[in-house]
Amino acid sequence: MLTKRVKNRILFFLFIFIISIIIAIFILKSLNQNILYFSTPTEIKQVEDISLDKAMRVGGMVKKNSIVVNNKNIQFIITDFENEILINYAGTVPNLFAEGKGVVAEGKLKDKNFFLADRILAKHDEKYMPPEIKKILENNAK
Amino acid sequence: MLSNIGSILVFFILSLSLLIIYYSYVETQTTRTTIKKNIYNLSLFQVTFTILSFFTLILGFIFSDFSIINVYENSHTTKPLFYKIAGTWGNHEGSLLLWINILVVFSYLFLIFNHKHEKNFRLYTLIFQNFLILGFVIFLLFNSNPFSKIYPEPLEGLGLNPILQDPALAIHPPLLYIGFVGCSIYFSAAIASLLSEYSGKQFALSIKSWVQISWVFQTLGITIGSIWAYYELGWGGFWFWDPVENASLLPWFAITALMHSIMVLEKRNTLYEWVIILCLVTFILSVTGTFLVRSGILNSVHTFANDPSRGLFILIFLSLMIFTSILIFFKKHKKEDYNFNSNSKETFILANNWFMVFFLATVLIGTLYPIFLDVLTNEKVSVGPPFYNIVIIPLVIPFLLLMAIGPQFNWINSKKEKLYKTLYVFFGACLINLFLFYFFENYGLYSNLILITAIFLILHSIFDAKKSINNKKKFIFPRIISHLGFGLLVFFIGINHQYSVEVDFNLKVGEIKKFNNYEIFFKNIKVQQNKNYKSVIGSFKITDLEKENINYLNPEIRIYTNPETLTYEAAIKSKVNSDLYLTMSNLPRSDFYNIKFQNKPFMIWIWISAIMIALGGFVQLIIKKNEE
């Protein structure tokens, strides 16, 4: 026979346990819905059934002589030296956005060749290069 | 010359640390009740040498002694004096020396200010603090020596990253470091308390002020960092849930929980174990944050040229710290009985801690998840603001409610009738919200709930303040100031979020852009030569067609030569009720300039509220000092 004290304690721990599980599920579920996957233009080409309404990131180099500007949008091409993707963006570009430099665009795919970006990622160091792009360059140098 | 002096001084610090550990240990074995004079002297020497070594490095930067690699890599003769000095801690090696300075200064101050407490507790604290000092000095000497020499001496330095040449960023690292490294002293004290069995109320009293000091500095440091990001990064936001920002927020959650639960330990002599855990966790999280940022795992402006061996050292040190503290904790901890009434202050403080742990867990998962996924599956992901907004915002609502209600309760047990007043205040808050809702545009359910609870907390804090003035209870002022600050912060962030206007477009010189009720005229650009940079200044005329007022804004593009970098300086016109924010950036091969215009209501109030939160802690320190 359990005393009242022990019973209360067990109930208390059970309560904490259930609450923590609910919280964990809640956090992990929202995490799963809100992570952004990173892809290169080549990966986008290769995947068969790519989801068009999920936000994602595309990274690579800004292709030389590809930037076109009008009074609303900026268009440019991201390349990983194998495949390319056209980016359309309305917004402010970061400091180091330039042709021939690394870039990461965040937004949604229209189709496999066209990407609507709502954010171009800024990093503030001239030495800095996003790790994803560093990897692309290393792979292509081989 | 300076580099030799510096290296010798660092070597002295190392030897003194070993001596202190040895003598303190011998001293713990004696039966005397006071600490021998020689330990005080050794500590005094240690603190003097440490501060001297830091001054030596500052001198190196002021006189541009390029024979020191660190100065060569991070300074330049044309740099203004202020940034030469700030450059001392604007790089990895220098900031590590600052880190050691704070460890040593806190160690010394803790020794001399806690003379009322038990001898062995103080000695063990000193021993563990010196183990920390030892670890970081070894790291400094073998991996990141700021006094390393270069030969032949270069004629000119490479210069400091221009984005760091900013007054807010000059004071941001020292503030944050005092906040983070200040936690070390109660990390050591917690272990000392377990070993010397000096627990309960006395332990709480010995570390309380140190917790408050580091909390105030952390809060200020994070705020200054946020202000800097607002005007320097040119995005017009103040919090991005960037992994590096998160790394600074993690210890803040732990220390805020500690600030609250330490009161329970002081007044009710319970929750001792939980306080110990929080003491340990706070400093461990500070070092973890440093590890994540410094190792280059999280990339950002804080990552100086990153080097995996640094990360490895911090990782080894961190594991040692965690392992030792867990070992001692499980060996020495004692069973405790908790007797809490549901209608007592301590229960609400515990509720605060639960929320803090939840926020901490969320941010920790969001920050570490991409790293783990990368290591395990090589998949690259990032966790953005939506995750944090979805998980954290709903919980802010009950959190704010409890924050207003909790302090109304007494310790141990309190009567129920007090809560009726709270209900009136709540209706008041609903009415004010209805008023806001009616006069401005409407907003969603979440925003309604958040604004109601924020107003509720604000009103309640104001009533509490009035009551405490009548009753002359000045010791609750710090709590009222901080809680009021938090209520205002959430309120202004909510309003700011609802009524911000943000437009991006491209414009040529001489063109006009019209939207909503604004008209923006890009008049001209001019070039100006400054001491160490050239700037292209645009001049814009902004007309608010509705209110018929005109503002002129002049954003800049700065071209630095050493090192060669472009920065965009936002033009910000701060007014009491809103900020006008404009950035201009050039686009390659085009006459267009990329313009971002924002009208952000109540921006300065967000900063004022955040500073108010820190002010609460500061007031508490002053009040306590006057009582003594």
First-to-last alpha carbon distance for chain A, in angstroms, is 72
Instruction: Answer whether residue A1 shows pLDDT above 70.
Output: no
pLDDT band at B252 (very low <50, low <70, confident <90, very high): very high
Give the range of the structural domain holding residue B560, as residue numbers without chain letter.
Answer: 502-604
pLDDT of residue B229: 85
Instruction: Mention every residue, 6+ apart, whose C-beta is less than 8 A from residue A87.
Output: A58, A75, A76, A77, A78, A105, A115, A117
pLDDT of residue A124: 45
Helix (H, G, I), strand (E, B) or coil at B279: helix
pLDDT per position as a tens digit, A126-142:
444 555 556 655 665 54
ipTM of this complex prediction, to 2 decimal places: 0.74
**Dihedral, B491, B492, B497, B499 alpha carbons, nearest 10:** 110
Reduced 3-state DSSP string for B439-484? HCCCCCHHHHHHHHHHHHHHHHHHHHHHHHHHHCCHHHHHHHHHHH
Residue B348 domain flag: no
More confident residue, B257 or A140: B257
Instruction: Answer whether residue B330 shows pLDDT above 60.
Output: yes
pLDDT per position as a tens digit, B460-491:
999 889 888 888 777 788 999 999 999 999 99
Contact B185, B129 (CB under 8 A): yes
Residue B589 domain flag: yes
pLDDT per position as a tens digit, B148-173:
988 888 888 887 777 778 888 889 98
> CA nearest B217: which of B254, B174, B260?
B174
Any idea which residue has 């969001």 for tokens?
A: B366
Last residue of a domain, one of B120, B143, B161: B161
Collect all residues of chain B within an 8 Å Cβ-Cβ radius of residue A72.
505-506
pLDDT per position as a tens digit, B206-220:
999 999 999 999 999
Q: Is A61 on the interface with B (CB under 8 A)?
A: no
pLDDT per position as a tens digit, B413-468:
766 656 777 888 888 888 888 888 777 666 778 888 898 999 999 999 998 898 88
DSSP 8-class letter at B576:
S
- What does each C-alpha distance from B56 to A31, A103, B83, B363 come to in angstroms? 48, 41, 16, 39
- What does each C-alpha distance from A104 to A99, A101, A118, A129, B517 come to in angstroms? 13, 10, 11, 10, 34
Contact B42, B20 (CB under 8 A): yes
Reduced 3-state DSSP string for B23-76? HHHHHHCCCCCCCCHHHHHHHHHHHHHHHHHHHHHHHHHHCCCCCEHHHHHHCC
More confident residue, B279 or B505: B279
- Domain count across chain B: 2
Q: What share of chain B is helix, strand, coil (3-state, %, to 5)?
A: 65, 10, 25
With a pLDDT cut of 70, the percent of chain B lying above it is 96
Strands A74-79 and A68-69 turn out to be: antiparallel
Reduced 3-state DSSP string for B184-220? HHHHHHHHHHHHHCCCHHHHHHHHHHHHHHHHHHHHH
Residue B122 domain flag: yes
Average pLDDT score over residue span B228-233: 83
Contact B303, B91 (CB under 8 A): no
d(CA A82, CA B341): 67
pLDDT per position as a tens digit, B354-406:
999 999 999 999 988 888 887 888 777 888 788 998 889 889 999 999 999 88
pLDDT of residue A142: 46
Contact A60, A41 (CB under 8 A): yes
Residue B325 domain flag: no
d(CA A100, CA B513): 31
The overall average pLDDT reported for chain B is 88
Residue B72 domain flag: yes
d(CA B448, CA B446): 5
Instruction: Answer whether residue A125 shows pLDDT above 50.
Output: no
Q: Is A5 on the interface with B (CB under 8 A)?
A: no
Burial label for B236, CB within 10 Å (0-12, 13-18, 19+), is buried
d(CA B381, CA B390): 18
In angstroms, what separates the C-alpha of A38 from chain B's closest C-alpha?
Answer: 5
d(CA A120, CA A97): 9
Rg, chain A, Cα only: 23
Tally A–B CB contacts below 8 A.
119
Q: Is B596 on the interface with A (CB under 8 A)?
A: yes
Contact B302, B228 (CB under 8 A): no
With a pLDDT cut of 70, the percent of chain A lying above it is 82
> CA nearest B588: which of A87, A79, A86, A97?
A97
Collect all residues of chain B within an 8 Å Cβ-Cβ radius of residue A122.
233-235
CA atoms within 13 A on the CB side of A130: 25
Cβ distance of B589 and A99 shorter than 8 Å? yes
For testing contact with chain B, the best of A21, A25, A27 (most B CBs within 10 A): A27
d(CA B374, CA B447): 36
Helix (H, G, I), strand (E, B) or coil at B441: coil
Cβ distance of A124 and B301 shorter than 8 Å? yes
Last residue of a domain, one of B114, B134, B161: B161
Instruction: Answer whether residue B304 shows pLDDT above 50.
Output: no
Any idea which residue has 């990329």 for tokens?
A: B594
A92 closest CB neighbour out of B301, B513, B585 = B585
Tokens for B275? 């306080």
pLDDT of residue A139: 64
Q: Is A90 on the interface with B (CB under 8 A)?
A: yes
CB atoms within 10 A of CB B13: 25
Query: What type of residue sits at position B100?
Result: I
First-to-last alpha carbon distance for chain B, in angstroms, is 47
Cβ distance of B379 and A69 shorter than 8 Å? no
Instruction: Find residues 31-50 of chain A whose CB sits inside 8 Å of chain B.
Output: 31, 33-38
> CA nearest B502: which of B600, B578, B571, B406?
B600
pLDDT band at B138 (very low <50, low <70, confident <90, very high): very high
Q: Could you tell me which chain B residue has the CA closest to the CA of A121?
A: B235
d(CA B350, CA A128): 43
Query: What type of residue sits at position A53?
Result: D
Average pLDDT score over residue span B134-146: 92
Collect all residues of chain A within an 8 Å Cβ-Cβ radius of residue B506.
69-74
Instruction: Answer whether residue A40 shows pLDDT above 90.
Output: no
pLDDT of residue A131: 55
- What does each C-alpha distance from B156 to B78, B153, B551 come to in angstroms? 10, 9, 43
Q: Is B197 on the interface with A (CB under 8 A)?
A: no
Q: Is A11 on the interface with B (CB under 8 A)?
A: no
Burial label for B74, CB within 10 Å (0-12, 13-18, 19+), is buried
Query: What type of residue sits at position B159?
Result: G
A69 closest CB neighbour out of B362, B381, B587 = B587
Average pLDDT score over residue span B25-48: 91
More confident residue, B501 or A49: B501
Q: Could you tell me which chain B residue has the CA closest to the CA of A75?
A: B587
d(CA B421, CA B432): 17
Q: Could you tell me which chain B residue has the CA closest to the CA of A71?
A: B506
pLDDT of residue A128: 45
- What does each C-alpha distance from B209 to B126, B216, B376, B625 come to in angstroms? 17, 11, 43, 10
The overall average pLDDT reported for chain A is 79
In angstroms, what separates the C-alpha of A90 from chain B's closest C-alpha?
Answer: 7
Any idea which residue has 């995947």 for tokens?
A: A47
pLDDT of residue B416: 63
d(CA A136, CA A133): 5
d(CA B202, CA B208): 10
Q: Could you tell me which chain A residue has the CA closest to the CA of B389?
A: A30
Q: Is A99 on the interface with B (CB under 8 A)?
A: yes
Cβ distance of B589 and A126 shorter than 8 Å? no
Instruction: Mention every residue, 6+ apart, whose C-beta is less than 8 A from residue B77.
Output: B64, B156, B157
> CA nearest B388: which of B251, B197, B240?
B240
Strands B501-507 and B518-529 turn out to be: unpaired
d(CA B304, CA B268): 47
Average pLDDT score over residue span A100-118: 86
Q: Is A2 on the interface with B (CB under 8 A)?
A: no
pLDDT per position as a tens digit, A45-91:
888 777 777 888 888 888 888 888 887 888 899 888 888 899 999 88
Q: Could you tell me which chain A residue has the CA closest to the CA of B358?
A: A23
Residue B323 domain flag: no
Residue B542 domain flag: yes
This prediction's pTM = 0.89
d(CA B298, CA B280): 24
Strands A114-120 and A84-89 turn out to be: parallel
Span of B261-265, B389-393, B563-567 with lowest mean pLDDT? B563-567
Cβ distance of A34 and B596 shorter than 8 Å? no
Last residue of a domain, one of B102, B128, B161: B161
Any idea which residue has 């960092």 for tokens?
A: B225
pLDDT of residue B307: 64
Span of B178-182, B255-259, B375-379 with lowest mean pLDDT? B375-379
pLDDT of residue B151: 83
CA atoms within 13 A on the CB side of B317: 24
Tokens for B34? 């006071």
Residue B361 domain flag: no
d(CA B352, CA B216): 18
d(CA B364, CA B311): 19
